[in-house]
Structure 1
Amino acid sequence: MGSAEGERNGDYDYSLKVLLIGDSGVGKSSLMLSFLSNLDSLGPPPTVGVDFRIKYLTIGDKKLKITIWDTAGQEKFRTITGSYYRGTHGIIMVYDVTRRDTFKNLVDIWAKEVAIYSTNHDCIKVLVGNKVDKEIDRKVTREEGIALAKEMGCMFIECSAKTGENVSRCFQDLAIEILGVPRLLEEASNKSKVKVSANAGCQCG
């Protein structure tokens, strides 16, 4: 679905920025890596501070370049700042279904940060309950997750980064929702960026 050649040639219709947030240990990095393992990927090695990877995905007749920002490690020091949220088209808010505190913190901490720092008020949010493979240790019910997602006005899905259950669906459903928001698409359009670049380099007169 993607290639380094496609990256060099800018062979995509839209460039989307997706941010993974949530408490430490909920499986944000694992979700990203599980998604990457099912698709061709191109991106840098893990970096100090924040890690991001680039994915190419085709939805219908649209070719997407998805840059996924993983904030693992930052939440411990409360150093996730507005720069990570800036220009984000989609936000994946992750909690661990076996740890109720991580679910509670989505409301007490993470939703507040999104409200403060997110510059795209139309950005699509999805609430993700991870680690459903540990059903015997579950502390947060699916019904509670659905209720919170409805309250927060976002999508909802339960996943297992370990087994891969619903991981690809999570990212694909998010991309589909983003494609349905004209204002986000206008900002994410590769063609509009090329047009602006070409105009900027025009020698007129």
Structure 2
Amino acid sequence: MAYKVDSDYDYLFKIVLIGDSGVGKSNILSRFTRNEFCLDFKSTIGVELATRTLQVEGKRIKAHIWDTAGIERHRAITSAYYRGAIGVLLIYDITKAQSFENVHRWLRELMDHADSNIVIMLAGNKADLSHNRAVKESDGQRLAEQEGLVFLETSALEAFNVEKAFQMILVNIYKIVSKKAKKRKHW
């Protein structure tokens, strides 16, 4: 979803957060949109939505950010929610090797349900727990390079790289959208 409008923002981009249950998707969303972090873990049921407007290259970009349940029984809900998404934050927990191994499954699901031009960022969350690390940062970086993804480690608890992750994905999306808009003007 990349719409140009004439209200309080110039563009509206739909971003989805995906990854296994418990990797910190909801806290990343909460940290980015409300600057809050909740220590009480509650699984997301279905889908949650939050928004935030940012400046990107002089334009007001409104990000509609969708947080989905990472639990298998909610998978039917998630396939429809990719529709219209222009960006994805694929999150794993650096302390849980299984969540990193499941990144390939999430990428397959994206290929099955999302637009082929979608911007994907891989984020290793919970960098504040590096003393319990099960996934090396270099492994995340290597996987991102192999798959052509942007990569960053984050910590929703410490607000480390959360803002940067969304800025990076929104800048990448904006560049693609503005390049397409310029091409249309030249026709």
TM-score, normalised by the number of residues in structure 2: 0.84
8 Å CA contact 1:97, 1:131 repeated in 2? yes
Q: SS in structure 2 opposite 1:122?
A: coil
**Partner in structure 2 of residue 173 of structure 1:** 168
Q: SS in structure 2 opposite 1:173?
A: helix
Larger radius of gyration: 1
**Partner in structure 1 of residue 100 of structure 2:** 103
Measured after TM superposition, the shift of residue 79 of structure 1 is 2.6
8 Å CA contact 1:96, 1:103 repeated in 2? yes
**Partner in structure 2 of residue 134 of structure 1:** 129
Measured after TM superposition, the shift of residue 92 of structure 1 is 0.4
2:75 matched to 1:53?
A: no
Runs of 4+ in structure 1 deviating by more than 3 angstroms, as ranges, are 73-77, 182-186
**Partner in structure 2 of residue 163 of structure 1:** 158
**Partner in structure 1 of residue 24 of structure 2:** 27
8 Å CA contact 1:50, 1:74 repeated in 2? no
Identity %: 38
In the TM superposition, what whole-angstrom CA distance separates every residue of 1:111-139 from its partner, at most 9, and x where no partner exists?
11000000x21111000000010011001
8 Å CA contact 1:19, 1:92 repeated in 2? yes
**Partner in structure 2 of residue 10 of structure 1:** 7
**Match among 66, 69, 90 for residue 69 of structure 1:** 66
2:119 matched to 1:124?
A: yes
What is the alpha-carbon root mean square deviation over aligned residues?
2.0
8 Å CA contact 1:24, 1:76 repeated in 2? no
Return the letter of the residue paired with 2:142: A
8 Å CA contact 2:14, 2:85 repeated in 1? yes
2:81 matched to 1:84?
A: yes
**Whole-angstrom distance in 2 between the partners of 1:174 and 1:75:** 26
**Whole-angstrom distance in 1 between the partners of 2:45 and 2:73:** 14
Q: 1:54 to 1:154 in 2, by over 3 A?
A: same
Unaligned 5+ segments in structure 2 are 1-5, 37-43, 182-187
In the TM superposition, what whole-angstrom CA distance separates every residue of 1:47-102 from its partner, at most 9, and x where no partner exists?
95210011111112100111000003554443344311111110000000000000
Return the letter of the residue paired with 1:68: I
Alignment: residue pair count: 169
